[in-house]
A = this chain, B = another copy of it.
Amino acid sequence: MLIVMKPDATPAQLETVCAHVRELGLIPHRIRGETWTINVFGVGRSAPTERLAALPGVSACEKNGEPPTLVRRQQRPQGTTLMVRDEPIGGGRFTLIAGPCAVESREQVMRTAECVSREGVRFFRGGAYKPRTSPYAFQGLGDEGLRLLDEVKSRFDLRIVTEVKDVETLPAVVQVADVLQLGARNMHNYSLVEAVGKVGKPVLLKRGISATLNEWLLAAEYLLAGGNAQVVLCERGIRTFETMTRNTLDLAGAVLTKQLTHLPVIVDPSHGAGLASVVPPLVLASLAAGLDGAMVEVHPAPDQALSDGPQAVDFPAFADLAAKLRNMRRSTELP
């Protein structure tokens, strides 16, 4: 059960509510957001919600504690802006994060970094540790990949967005990453989510491949409840019956999520659609829809890529997309 306090609730009222909870044989656990929330443990299905809801200072009392709380837009109606080494995500800006799916070689990342930074990109993506469906697939270059990302970081003044695969390799990733990416497969891996939340760095949380919007917000809630509010949400396609596209990019879900939460919301049409020809139109669409950014896979030679080649755009296609984005941002009053 969750007890949400009013914004103007006094410390004395908070204490009184906790005392009532203890009297009922239950355990109150306080969570500090913009307002106080008390998570009550040990509650059966016959919890006295009405009685607690009637106490002074209480705004609402929710059984089961299911709905996300700290991530709700009402907590910060003006929205959250992340600052990543002086570059914002959110706050009305449209942020492009670009780079290869996986770090494959020095030449590949340097050429790609040069291409995207030339187009004005400030955030570079690239996986060093890759969770893969098959034990026999390319699993990333590991530490060597991190070293190459570190070189990209200093040479091109790019902020590094890279995936965290597990708790074991987290410390190494933290040394290099400016934004820690939690991938779709790990959105439901709450032990890792909690560990990543404690690091204190910005987190990019991808939506699980079959996660509802509510479950996605609840995963973000784990981060905020753990004290880390520097979170950006990334819709990357959900699994449906359609097979011509790799997944189904849920742009409407991303738009709705932005209305529900104060966190920035971006999309990853590369994974979402899985086809390079569809990626640029979807990036333009996400800008027009008022989202906060997009993540795009770029590769010098997509047909040589060790992972996910068909969804990577090549350099000319990326330059063309970047030009269209600049043109659209300059001239259009967006929603």
A interface vs B, CB < 8 Å?
Answer: 2, 39, 41-42, 44-46, 64-66, 68-69, 131-138, 165-168, 185-186, 188-192, 209-210, 212-215, 218-219, 221-222, 225-226, 237-245, 248-253, 255-256, 259, 269, 272-273, 275, 277-278, 280-282, 284-290, 303-306, 309, 324, 327-328, 331-335
Which of A65, A131, A278 has the most chain B CB within a 10 Å cutoff? A278
The residues of B that contact A167 with a CB separation of less than 8 Å are 166-168, 191
Closest 3 CB pairs of A and B: A65-B136, A210-B210, A166-B191
Q: Is the CB of A255 within 8 A of B243?
A: no
Smallest Cβ-Cβ distance to A67: which chain B residue: B134
Which residues of the partner chain B approach A226 to less than 8 Å between Cβ atoms? 135
A238-B248, A241-B239 given; A191·B165 CB < 8 A? yes
Each complex incorporates copies of this chain amounting to 4
On whether the beta carbons of B278 and A256 are closer than 8 Å, the reply is: yes
**A255 CB contact (under 8 Å) in B138, B282, B328:** B282
Interchain CB contact (< 8 A) of A285 among B238, B251, B256, B309 = B251
Contact yes or no, B137 A66, CB < 8 A:
yes
Q: A281 touching B290 by the CB < 8 A rule?
A: yes
Chain B's closest residue to A213 (CB) is: B244
Q: List 28 A-B contacts (CB under 8 A).
A: A42-B138, A45-B309, A65-B136, A66-B137, A69-B136, A135-B226, A166-B189, A189-B192, A209-B210, A213-B242, A214-B244, A240-B240, A248-B248, A249-B251, A251-B285, A252-B278, A255-B273, A256-B277, A256-B278, A259-B277, A280-B335, A281-B288, A284-B288, A284-B335, A285-B286, A324-B335, A328-B332, A331-B332
Cα A282 to Cα B186 in complex, Å, equals 29
Complex CA gap A290/B277 in Å reads 12
Residues of B within 8 A of A42 (CB): 138
Question: A44: which B residues are within 8 A, CB to CB?
Answer: 304, 306
Residues in B neighbouring A281, C-beta threshold 8 A: 255, 288-290, 335
The answer to whether A242 touches B251, judged by C-beta atoms less than 8 angstroms apart, is no
Distance, CA A64 to CA B166, complexed state (A):
24
Flag if A248 contacts B253 (CB, 8 Å): yes
Contact A251 to B282, CB < 8 A, known contacts A189-B185, A287-B288: yes
Across the interface, A289 reaches (CB within 8 A) one of B133, B284, B304, B327, namely B284
Contact B190 A132 (CB under 8 A): yes
